[in-house]
Structure 1
């Protein structure tokens, strides 16, 4: 393993539990008229691209600016007050450090949202990369993972990415990385077939990563 890359939402923090609730009950009803998407359609995508997707495939009732404001307001509460850190993440981070493997945080979330998580849990990564930092379309396209490997100076084929969404796992797989799926309650039915291995819960994930790092 030349680098270990983590998705943020639903992996490093359990934010998808709260995003899915907010999207089903508040956000999507506020921005759409009629049919709503399955959440797997949009999970893992950059939120500005979510609006473009919804506007193209569903009946939007607000502008992009209004949509962004709604998501930003929700994000501040989710990340500053509600999320919890992945159980055992500090142990995984320490094992990677001992093995000399750089660890990156690679997320479709904007830098402000990532900053909430980094500050709240006092986290340090060798690379923090937001979709805002990368030219081209976001997940499920591979650009952000290709950029992460380039910035760390490693070949994508030597990287391991941990993802919980269909869009995220496809992005890492298309970049040529080994993809470890993380499955918990919020993504119990999510298609993770792009992953090389799927771990059920944090204990299995820790064991899988520890074995690869050792």
Structure 2
């Protein structure tokens, strides 16, 4: 394997538990008050695409502008005050660097949110490439666009890439891109479909060991 493509939310930082609480308890009941939305439907999507999906699939009760503003306010708090970084991340990135394996952060989040995480956890320069879905005219996960683009940026074929993902949409996107997918199972997502993944891990230690085994 020539490159490892890490999702950010739920993998590099434990933000999904906060996003799930925010969406389930505060945002979605206002946005689609007459429906109970399975959060797996939108997990891994860019937040702007999330509104578009809800508006198309259900009947929304708030404007796109309000939805976006509330998401952006939540992001500031979640990334600067709440999240913790994956245990052993710096050591894992250093070991991949020693092996000559390209490291990319690939997220549906905008660059502004990614920079909050990079700054807070001293990760600037730790990735060879930082890719946001905003970088390309792409469809959100589960479409494979963002992982295909990240592989292109790394200069390697997708089938020589490992994708580390936690969400159902992200796992499907990595599979559809033709990568080897490591599914990181976290409590925030509950019982989601992990079947497209090549490997499933349940802890940070297992994630690190599996990634290093795949690239060796």
Give the whole-Å Cα distance in 2 for the aligned partners of 1:79 and 1:190. Answer: 24
Paired residue for 1:45?
45
Secondary structure of 1:112's match? helix
Paired residue for 1:131?
133
Structure 1: give runs of 5+ residues left out of the alignment: none
Give the whole-Å Cα distance in 2 for the aligned partners of 1:111 and 1:144. Answer: 14
Structure 2: give runs of 5+ residues left out of the alignment: none
Task: Give the TM-score of the pair, scaled to structure 2.
Answer: 0.96
Alignment of 1:66-145 (within 5 A): 66-123=66-123, 124-145=126-147
Alignment of 1:27-38 (within 5 A): 27-38=27-38
Task: Give the TM-score of the pair, scaled to structure 1.
Answer: 0.97
Aligned to 2:173, which of 171, 174, 194?
171
Does the Cα contact within 8 Å between 2:110 and 2:132 map onto a contact in 1? Answer: yes
Paired residue for 1:64?
64
- Report the aligned-residue RMSD: 1.0
- Superposition misfits of 4+ residues, deviation over 3 angstroms: none
Deviates more, 1:59-68 or 1:15-24: 59-68
Give the whole-Å Cα distance in 2 for the aligned partners of 1:155 and 1:119. Answer: 30
Give the whole-Å Cα distance in 2 for the aligned partners of 1:188 and 1:211. Answer: 27
Secondary structure of 2:171's match? helix
